[in-house]
Amino acid sequence: MQKNVTLRLEEQLLKKAKHTAIEKGFSLSQWLANLLKQAVNKESNFEHAQKKALMYLKKGFNLGGGKFNREELYDRPSMLR
């Protein structure tokens, strides 16, 4: 269900927006609706990617290494020279 919205724009901005919409083959209303959809989808995609990245950070990564204590780390022949 679509709803009407009232916007207050400067006259010059309104003229340029109408011209741009017509050049793209849309009414001003259609063009603005498309811009709003794109902005909302972009934000939604960002939020999804952010949640996914945070999940990976919380889970952590297996880098294939084992657990070492301090003595094992510093007990290397190259360090004895």
Residues in Cβ contact with 34 at an 8 Å cutoff, skipping those fewer than 6 apart: 26
User: pLDDT band at 80, cuts 50/70/90?
Assistant: low
How many CB atoms lie under 10 A from the CB of residue 42? Answer: 10
Tell me what pLDDT residue 25 has: 97
Tell me what pLDDT residue 68 has: 78
> In whole angstroms, how large is the CA radius of gyration of the chain?
28
Tens digits of residue pLDDT in 4-54: 999 999 999 999 999 999 999 999 999 999 999 999 888 888 998 999 999
Closest CA to 35 of 63, 7, 62, 60: 7
Identify whether the C-beta of residue 39 lies closer than 8 Å to the C-beta of residue 31: no
Tell me what pLDDT residue 23 has: 97
